[in-house]
Amino acid sequence: LGVSEVDMVMNINAFKSRDFDYVKRDIVAVVEAARKHGVRVVKVIIETGLLSDEEKVKATELVIEAGADYVKTCTGFLGSVATVHDVSILYKTSRGRVGVKASGGIRHALDALALIAAGASRIGTSSGDKIIEEFLKLRGEY
């Protein structure tokens, strides 16, 4: 019993201030605390909607260096959504060293499938039932 996965949000202020050592130490601290308590998966949300493409690459590299398991697009609270472009950047940067979780604004099966094709290994959505229903319709099973 207990928690098996933890999500954290990267410190955007420190990242935008280019204090990458602080950002990495913060992620490492969460990863170490999580592992100490038996948590198997740590996901780091980088808020892709606030980052340039170059910053998305740097953030993904920090997530990898810090030992987390997934880089995650966004919380969905800041109005940004997961995009194929962003997922593709995270996937190409990670080269399989961490998983990519697309989250934020995913409400349709075709959107989810496009994100998976771009490299997402997980989808975070509050529209799971609707997406499955649409997927089954696409397959002619509904």
For this structure, is 36 an active site residue?
no
Q: Which of 7, 16, 21, 43 is catalytic?
A: 7
Give just the sign of the alpha carbon dihedral 81, 112, 103, 76.
Answer: positive
- pLDDT confidence of residue 1: 56
- pLDDT confidence of residue 42: 99
The number of folded domains in the chain is 1
Give just the sign of the alpha carbon dihedral 14, 17, 21, 24.
Answer: positive
One-letter amino acid identity for 92?
Answer: K
For this structure, is 92 an active site residue?
no
Q: Which of 72, 111, 130, 137 is catalytic?
A: 72
CA distances in angstroms from 9 to 89, 112, 141, listed in the order given:
18, 22, 38
- pLDDT confidence of residue 14: 99
- pLDDT confidence of residue 132: 95
Contact 75, 47 (CB under 8 A): yes
* Residue numbers in the chain where pLDDT is lower than 50: none
39-73, pLDDT tens digit by residue? 999 999 999 999 999 999 999 999 999 999 999 99
- pLDDT confidence of residue 76: 84
Q: H or E stretch including 45?
A: strand 41-45
- Distance, in Å, from the CA atom of 65 to the CA atom of 98, rounded to the nearest integer, reads 10
User: pTM here?
Assistant: 0.94
Host domain of residue 57? 5-138
CATH number, domain at 57? 3.20.20.70
